[in-house]
A and B are shown apart, each in its own frame.
Chain A
Amino acid sequence: MKALKIAKKDLLIEFRTKHTINFMLLFALLSILMFSYIVGAFIAAVPDIGPGLLWLILIFSGMLGLSRAFTREKDLGTLEGLKLSPVSGTDILLGKVAYNFSLLVLIEVISFPIFLLFFNFPVAGSIALSFFYLTLGNLGFAVVGSAMSVLILNARARELLLPVILFPVLFPIIISSISALKKVLVEGETFLNTMGEFKIIIAYTVIMAVISLLTFDYALEE
């Protein structure tokens, strides 16, 4: 599948240069350190605000890398190289989603345990299910973020524009992911008791993926 070839190429370049991943990771770790210091004075509030803070950290660090998947290709002129090849818009978009998702999961896997440790988080539920919801939320984030970063490709202040247009569209995924994480991690709820959030995240991600795939070719046109 050509989408996987594109994702593999992007990951090879990223792990060779570490241009994006280092900054994303550094931002996530510094934010955890800073927030844990601030929240330390309000230890009783940690279970309530912790999941929201973790998601904010993941989203802000993710945003550092999301737009680069397309802007780097655009700036180097290699996006035209892709468009000159017999590759469908679907393959290009799915390749970029897979690449962005891989980076987000890597940040999540490193940040989540450090977050629990630094916040001295009182874990009441399943860590595995918490990872599942973080990963699911990141999948939605990667789909919506990749699609949105194409829309701003030709904009002048595209790095500034992305958060502004991304946050409102991402809102249902963020809220549902925070809610699911809080239920699992703090209240010790099972998967069945978080089915509502699961359905919203899946449905929204699928709807956004379909819209993105249908409009991607037009968005990519010069």
Chain B
Amino acid sequence: MAIIELKEVCKEFGGHLAINRVSFSVAEGESFALLGPNGAGKTTLIKILSTLLKPTSGEIIISGLDLQEEPEEVKKLIGVVSHNPFLYDELTARENLHFYADLFEVNRNNAEALLKMVNLEDRGNELVGTFSRGMKQRLAIARALIHAPKILLLDEPTAGLDIQGKHIFYKWIKELSLQDTTILLTTHYLDEAEKLCDKACILDGGEVKACGTLEEIKGVETLEETFIRLTEKGVE
């Protein structure tokens, strides 16, 4: 059953069509990658799905809810992790999680389990401003999971992370995927998509160029070869 469903979604910015009639669906518990070169529309699409942007036209259904009709209900179903952790440097890790728990009206005790999960239980009372990029990103995952969302939207979450940080990140995403959390990931790293996702959609110029399982998209090629072939028009 599809938990995310996009039908003919368009987004226009001052006459420029950033998203052009994009349609695809993601099944519950699936890990899905949105791939594409810079300017393909990946982040715009994530912003639309996370209710930060309104589509110009088209329909988006999230877990049976119309995103444009019930954005507040949809927000309760999704967690977002991007390269920006959405954390307050002047608050401690625990205070940050408590603040978001209050906004989502969930029990503050959720924060303790999440701090433990991201190995920050000993640093919970330290200011986030003193954290490294990797630690902030770990805390960002905890923040995104504070309300136990059914869907996790990941917008280039490993940008700027070192190899260790990426490794730990991949481990958690796989664990979440096993717990039936639906993952929608945008990334520039094709190996990341292959490690974490079962299905993918390749975007270029705001249009869907290919969509399906990674095997269906690649065929006999490597994912990189397919990606270059499908998006080379944009490079020219």
User: A residues near B, CB below 8 A?
Assistant: 2, 5, 9, 12-13, 16-17, 76-78, 80-88, 221-222
Contacts and interface: CB of A to CB of B under 8 A. Distances in A.
B113 interface: no
Contacts of A78: 86-88
B76 interface: yes
B80 A84 contact: yes
Contacts of B78: 84
A77 B84 contact: yes
B102 interface: yes
B41 to A, nearest CB: 15
Interface residues of B, number: 28
25 contacts: A2-B103, A5-B99, A5-B103, A9-B99, A12-B91, A13-B88, A16-B90, A17-B90, A76-B88, A77-B85, A77-B86, A78-B87, A80-B52, A81-B143, A82-B103, A83-B52, A84-B50, A84-B52, A85-B103, A86-B72, A86-B73, A86-B76, A87-B103, A222-B47, A222-B52
B103 A221 contact: no
B104 interface: yes
B75 A85 contact: yes
B86 A80 contact: yes
A57 B87 CA distance: 34
Nearest to B143: A81
Shortest beta-carbon contacts, A-B, top 8: A81-B86, A77-B84, A85-B103, A13-B90, A86-B75, A5-B102, A86-B72, A17-B90
A32 to B, nearest CB: 29
A159 B11 CA distance: 31
Contacts of B84: 77, 80
B51 interface: yes
